[in-house]
Amino acid sequence: MKWHLIDSGFNTGNYNMQFDLDLANNCKNDEAFFRLYRWQPFCISLGANQSFDDINLQKAKDDGIDVVKRPTGGRAILHAEEWTYSFIYPMNYEYSPKEIYFKVSQALIKGLQLYNPIFSNSELEKAQPNFPQLLEEPSGVLCFASTAKNEVKFNNKKLIGSAQRKLNNSILQHGSILCGTYHQKLADYLNVDERTKNILHSELIEKTTEIETILNEKVDYEKLKNCLIEGFEIEWEINFDK
């Protein structure tokens, strides 16, 4: 297996989603990719089956925020102060999709631990929520309002949100590693009344956490990136091609 590392830096929402999709559609059966990237401008991404009608597109445009669809499922995320990762792995090579999800989460936790030992207290969600029921609730439009099985939590709050999809002969998994609090502003861009916005904003604060909040200091994004890469190599027992 050839293991490829891609640090693609800051790009637009359309670029980032198309990049992940192209990697997945062209992945060979003897190679895997781990990609880290950020967003410029900030961007709201919607799950593949989510409607643009959920978002106040004019306000997003006025504020200089992209709005795109993800090739994976899930619900709305405001990508801002974060590292986003993607992982592409050939189907039926060695691990099942569930095993991949678990190992990727474990690798991310190892990276966080290298960044700061306090993250040894991170844990994986053990239960799978009832997503059809959640989608009927006002918070159903928000990806970070609930935690799926094997997503990463800290102090029982969601720290990393991930989504996975089978594409052709590969698995695409990508997710957001929350660093700052800007993602909480997502409620401001939803097509709901002010009362509901306030409720959803409070719910995001209650149910999510960020590296800066946990450590009470600004994130060193470069250091965090290198720690995530090292954590990935440790968990998967590999060395990325240089």
**Whether residue 129 has pLDDT greater than 50:** no
Number of domains observed in the structure of the chain: 1
pLDDT band at 210 (very low <50, low <70, confident <90, very high): very high
Specify if 242 maps to a domain: no
Specify if 120 maps to a domain: yes
What's the domain range around 47?
A: 2-236
**Residue 157: predicted pLDDT:** 95
> Residue 98 has which token pair?
């569930």
Specify if 199 maps to a domain: yes
pLDDT band at 96 (very low <50, low <70, confident <90, very high): very high
Specify if 26 maps to a domain: yes
**Residue 127: predicted pLDDT:** 58
Q: Are 144 and 204 in contact (CB under 8 A)?
A: yes
Per the listing, tokens 């594409």 go with 167
Give whole-number Cα distances, 143 to 94, 179, 194, 231, in Å.
29, 16, 20, 25
Specify if 241 maps to a domain: no
**Residue 168: predicted pLDDT:** 84
Specify if 104 maps to a domain: yes
Specify if 143 maps to a domain: yes
- Cα angle 175, 17, 140 (rounded to 5 degrees) comes to 55
**Whether residue 71 has pLDDT greater than 80:** yes
CATH code, 8: 3.30.930.10
| Amino acid residing at 20 | D
Specify if 122 maps to a domain: yes
Q: Are 68 and 76 in contact (CB under 8 A)?
A: no
Query: What's the CA gap between 100 and 232, in Å, rounded?
Result: 12
